[in-house]
Structure 1
Amino acid sequence: MNDTTILLVGHGSREDSGNQEIRDFVDQWRARQPAWRIEVCFIEFAAPSLHDGLLAAAQSSRRVLVLPLILNAAGHAKMEIPEAIEHAREHAPGVEFLYGPHLSACDPILAILKRRLRQAMAMLDMPDPTTTGVVLLGRGSSDRGANGDMAKMARWLQEDSDHELVDLAFTGITWPRLERVVQRQALIGLRQIVVLPYYLYTGTLMQRIHRQVDHLRAQYAQIRFACGTHFGFEKEIFELVEQRVHDLLAGVPDSRMPCDGCSYREIAHDLGHGHSHEHTHAPVHVHPHTAQAQPA
């Protein structure tokens, strides 16, 4: 690993506390893996930028493993990061760039949600799942695959719990919104509602969620609300990114990002980007699942 840099790509937030949490995550990850060279960059709102991070990593390495610290794959994971990698390849032709998949809908993320749900239920006066609705609340995307990943997690959470209703809501971009879902759950007589944010780190949106839940408490005085927290520094997140590193080094292919129905195919074509859905391993603009690593 002496010739390899692991570059973790965070989204970035207008609220610097969220960016600092990602920096703190990297510090903890370095402590877990002292033999690894781990750096961080951000897609927006914080420094270093994605482009600067890639070029800086390339200056001191023969190989850069690019890992998106992103839950769902949409425009950032499908277009922006791959395009930035292609730009870095042009400026550092002797460096191998390997792109890992986003965190995705998976059992480790489900384990975090189940733990968050248990914690929230313990906050309620009557921890009875049969009278408690659950709302999985995410950012929302114009990409149906990203929204579908959240729907999958909501379904998995329902099947692995005693709750009869686990709904899905979004803070923006798409629908339904939290207020509408709470209205529906109130109409069917649920006495308690748990809101589970589907977010990695804090930021302006997490702050908005807590304000929304406070407003809902005032609006629905007959209902008890409990609100979970973002995922943060859970062990499953560290284990997931570590598994991404091992998979890239071992050349393990990834199939979590299907091209069928991808809205970015048409967008990229219209904009003239080299967004390729060819399932090859040529050094073109590729989805993460088409970029395989060579064994170390």
Structure 2
Amino acid sequence: MQPAPPAAAAPLTAQVSPQVSEIILIVGHGSREDSGNREIREFTEQWRARQPGWRIELCFIEFAPPELNAALLAAGRAARRVLVVPLILNAAGHVKMEIPEAIEAARAACPQAEILLAPHLGASDPVLTVLRRRLRGAMATLDMPDPTTTGVVLLGRGSSDRGANGDMAKMARWLLEEGDHELVDLAFTGITWPRLEKVVQRQVLLGMRQVVVLPYYLYTGTLMQRIHRQVEHLRAQYPQVRFACTEHFGFEAEIFALMEERVENLRAGVPDSRLPCDGCSYREIAHDLGHGHSHAHTHAPGPDHGHAHGAGDGHDHGHAHGHEHGHEHGHDHGHGHEHEHGHEHHHGHDHGKAGVPA
């Protein structure tokens, strides 16, 4: 008699038992490319193996189950404390608006539960360590591993949120200061500029004989696939230049350690100035004006909470529906995620700031 096949994993609502002491809820972005979602699920399994005493669950903002709002409600009904930990590199609209809004709703529905939000991963020394290690490995594959003639391009998703783009600019600057390369540039796959092809053109004109492309991505997806295609095109366009391109880095030990640090800081009540907009008055103003969560509120970090309001109603409704419609995300709501359908919509209802690129 054949043994029965293993049962499929139950959804979060069925997995949690009433009133466990604590649930750690990972929030992933979610992708239309299921290979990326599978990698986040694999990360969750590996983290559970690292921390067998922790109750770790996973949800996604979009494109994959379990969905953020439902998972938060289930966790809040089942646990006395829920620690929400975004597995996200940059703080654009999802981190600044949608996750805090979902937490507010869960707190209202589950007043008996303490629900706490950790900061996103962000620009940090551990992420810099990963990038430097990846850069060293890429240099080792080149025929002439000379940093003075090797340009570096840190390549990220791109956002209509200047704070998210600024975090990437910070990482590019740190790479420059911590290494021997004379040229470390920033490029984006969509929404904002410059793009990879333009940056490589400049580096070649400046005399670079090799170029290393460092994708600033945790997991695979359609954008990572597109990056590798772009690098192949560049190799054909510049046969005299040697290219190296690294992979995404979501399984590096530093990422697990950062997530664990976020959990321990929440447990200890350690404040973190990077915590984006949990209870933010700007979102309350947006709701009062009937704007909801998904309209490119350019929440750039800054001295006064960085809500970069323009002269108008103050939120850059820039609907930068930056739909880089190549979908790694449904619509850039101005929140800096790309729509991987290959064309870029710029609906710019720019109520607050004229001239902001979508």
What TM-score do the two structures reach when normalised by structure 1? 0.88
Partner residue, 1:52: 70
Match among 77, 83, 102 for residue 65 of structure 1: 83
Deviation at 1:271, TM superposition (A): 3.3
Distance in 1, matches of 2:291 and 2:98, equals 14
Deviations 1:189-210 (A, max 9, x none): 1110000000010011000000
Q: Which moved more, 1:53-62 or 1:214-223?
A: 53-62
Partner residue, 1:151: 169
Aligned structure 1 segments of 4 or more residues deviating by more than 6 angstroms: 274-279
Q: Is 1:116 paired with 2:154?
A: no
Gaps of 5+ in 2: 1-18, 306-358
Partner residue, 1:218: 236
RMSD: 2.3
Q: Is 1:247 paired with 2:265?
A: yes
Partner residue, 1:132: 150
Match among 160, 172, 181 for residue 190 of structure 2: 172
Deviation at 1:56, TM superposition (A): 2.0
Q: Is 1:98 paired with 2:121?
A: no
Q: Match for 1:81: what amino acid?
A: I
Distance in 1, matches of 2:253 and 2:288, equals 40
Partner residue, 2:36: 18
Deviation at 1:107, TM superposition (A): 0.2
Partner residue, 2:102: 84
Deviations 1:168-192 (A, max 9, x none): 0000110000000001001111110
Deviation at 1:92, TM superposition (A): 1.4
Distance in 1, matches of 2:222 and 2:292, equals 31
Residues 62 and 95 in structure 1, CA contact (< 8 A), matched pair in contact too: yes
Residues 72 and 103 in structure 1, CA contact (< 8 A), matched pair in contact too: yes
Partner residue, 1:232: 250
Partner residue, 2:7: none
Partner residue, 2:349: none
Distance in 2, matches of 1:241 and 1:269, equals 34
Q: Is 1:199 paired with 2:217?
A: yes
Q: Which moved more, 1:89-98 or 1:123-132?
A: 89-98
Distance in 2, matches of 1:258 and 1:59, equals 25
Change (3 A) 1:30 1:257: closer
Deviations 1:92-115 (A, max 9, x none): 121111000000101000000000
Q: Match for 2:64: what amino acid?
A: A
Residues 73 and 257 in structure 1, CA contact (< 8 A), matched pair in contact too: no
Distance in 2, matches of 1:268 and 1:198, equals 33
The percent of aligned pairs where both chains have the same amino acid is 74
Partner residue, 1:7: 25
Distance in 2, matches of 1:94 and 1:268, equals 25
Deviation at 1:90, TM superposition (A): 2.0
Distance in 2, matches of 1:177 and 1:269, equals 37
Change (3 A) 1:45 1:273: closer
Gaps of 5+ in 1: 280-296
Partner residue, 2:57: 39
Distance in 2, matches of 1:186 and 1:271, equals 49
Q: Match for 2:147: what amino acid?
A: P
Distance in 2, matches of 1:158 and 1:148, equals 15
Residues 91 and 276 in structure 2, CA contact (< 8 A), matched pair in contact too: no
Deviations 1:37-85 (A, max 9, x none): 0000001111001112112212321110001111111101000000011
Deviation at 1:89, TM superposition (A): 1.5
Q: Is 1:271 paired with 2:329?
A: no
Report the count of equivalent residues. Answer: 276
| SS of match in other structure, 1:127 | coil
Distance in 2, matches of 1:17 and 1:53, equals 21
Q: Which moved more, 1:206-215 or 1:250-259?
A: 250-259
